[in-house]
Amino acid sequence: MARKKMFELNVPDNLHEQMGSPERILESLEKGVILSRIGVLQEEVSELTERIDNLRRRNAELPHEIKRMEILLKELIKDQEALAALLCEKR
Amino acid sequence: MNTPRLRSSNRKIRIKDNREIHELAEKYHVKVDVESIQKIFDLGVKCPYTERQLAEKLNELENEKKNLESSLRKIAKDPSNLESTYAGLRWQVNRIFLDNRVRVFHLSAHSPTDEHGKRLRNELIKKYVQYSQST
């Protein structure tokens, strides 16, 4: 049977007595694990908030961008017709 | 002269890699191994909050994350289809622009007889050739 792995933890001298029991060690580990999870979640929440802000900004810009593209397209179609007429004249 | 030896302020304790530790890691999706356990333990030792306070904060963040994910899904769905309208228009603009540029190159070898035709030709050459050179 494989021997169980051991973890070695450094405990501040003044806390060594308090940390004597396995329950106390586990309690501190649990707090540490929850704090780590809280840190990860805080990062995820801030990333999601940023993505939502960017999407909202993009959605607000799109109607203006579409208008701009429509104006440009009209101008290009007008040029296309003028070019076709001029080239037709050439022939 | 003998210098006094500084006593180490830390002591070592050894704990078994047991089921409880693995359950904790699994429950909170946190990796607990030889490298990270000390950092996690230190966080726990220094933490001024009670387990209950931490659980409340955790719960609050989990809910906030769920709400944000749901908002993101709603916004990303884009019911008005603005993004695809914009993409379609851009594609058309690019295609017609390139088409016009090719026609302008053909036109540059030709000079219309009437004034209006000449002016229009020069304007179009200026517009498309200058744009091509500036990009």
- Residue in B11, B41, B99 closest to A13 by CB: B11
Handedness of CA B65, B67, B70, B75 (dihedral sign): negative
Q: How far is CA A47 from the centre of its chain?
A: 4
User: What integer is the mean pLDDT of A1-28?
Assistant: 69
Mean pLDDT in chain B? 83
On chain B, the residues whose CB falls within 8 A of the CB of A87 are: 103, 106-107, 110
| Domain map (residue ranges) of chain A | 21-90
**Residue B123 pLDDT greater than 50, yes or no:** yes
Answer whether B83's CB lies under 8 Å from B108's CB: no
Give the model's pLDDT for residue A90.
61
Report CB contact under 8 Å: A37, B28. Answer: yes
Answer whether B13's CB lies under 8 Å from A21's CB: no
- Return residues 3-62 of B near A (CB < 8 Å): 7-18, 20-21, 24-25, 27-30, 32, 34, 37-45, 47, 49, 51, 54-55, 57-58, 61-62
ipTM of the complex: 0.70
For chain B, the residue count is 135
